[in-house]
Amino acid sequence: MTIRPDSLAAAHLLRHAVAIGSDGVQERIELGIAEETPLTLIFNEFHVYAVMMVTPLDLHDFVLGFVLTEKIIATPADLISCHIERHEDQLSAHIRIPGVDFSRLIRRGQRLLTGSSSCGLCGVTDLNEIATPGASLSAHSILVPAIRKALAALPELQVLNQKVHMVHAAAWAAPDGVIHYVREDVGRHNALDKLIGILSQSPRDPGRGFCLVTSRCSYDMVEKALTLGISTLVAISSPTDRAIQVARKADMTLIGNARPDRLAIFCGAHRLIKPEAVEMSA
């Protein structure tokens, strides 16, 4: 797995609490708590597009993934620069993009609401602007045992979650089930944006492997994954009906309720080798 560039120190802190047991005995304990920090996205020095609530970890990956999945730029090379600044308890990302992309962004306007850590598309006024156009996804097959292998390995690779037990992860695994990238955030959409950011810079083909998310799978999670040509998406919870519809239309393989010993395939079973051991949803 690739080395994480940022320190975990900025992403969590220790807080004291009083625990009360079933016997009524009180105990003072110390718990790891994840940070949730506002990040203002400022384009070409003056246009404030959005304020997102994020875990301050892997922020350059987040910015790149965000501008790709929001269709602000078309390719990673279109991100000219990104500089992160901290001002007391908030952050700002100063992002430079080409003039043509910036002009299109200005016409789009601002998000109308602050994007909370649980929100992927809050404040977007036109869903057609961020909808992923139909594209040909990879037809490469994935071994069911490889998915099981990755699901079993993921908890140990969630280094922040081991400290705070409260953040989501998004991961990408190669066809053999070996996880190469993991990104974490208090927001499930943010974790996936971070993963897309780092994966978009990788020489690996996203469509040849598969993506894991430790969260529910709403349609915007599917849309984000499709942005990078991810052909197989595995979620530990069930997808929404709209997510299934979007995935089916794109010919994506969508798996939910994913555990090492049980999977539910909602669409795209043709990519899976020997899927007879898994539950096929109607």
Among candidates 269, 270, 210, which has minimal Cα distance to 279? 269
Q: Please give the structure tokens belonging to residue 165.
A: 């037990």
**Cα-only R_g, the chain:** 19
Q: Confirm if 137 and 252 have CB atoms less than 8 A apart.
A: yes
Q: Which residues of 66-102 are buried (b: 16+ CB within 10 A; e: fewer)?
A: bbbbbbbbeebeebeebeeeeeeeebbbbbebeeebb
Determine contact, residues 187/214, Cβ cutoff 8 Å. Answer: no
119 a catalytic residue: yes
Residue closest to 196 by CA, chosen among 43, 6, 7, 60: 60
Rounded Cα gap, residues 150 and 146, in angstroms:
6
Nearest C-alpha neighbor of 109 from the set 120, 95, 125, 130: 125
Catalytic, out of 119, 211, 217, 267: 119
Going along the chain, which residue ranges are E strands?
12-20, 26-34, 37-43, 47-54, 81-87, 90-96, 142-143, 168-173, 179-185, 210-213, 232-235, 253-259, 262-267, 272-273, 279-280
**What's the rounded Cα separation, in Å, for the pair 41 and 51?**
6
Identity of residue 129: E
- Sign of the CA dihedral with 272 first, then 215, 76, and 3 last: negative
CB 167, CB 161: distance < 8 Å? yes
Q: Which residues are catalytic?
A: 119
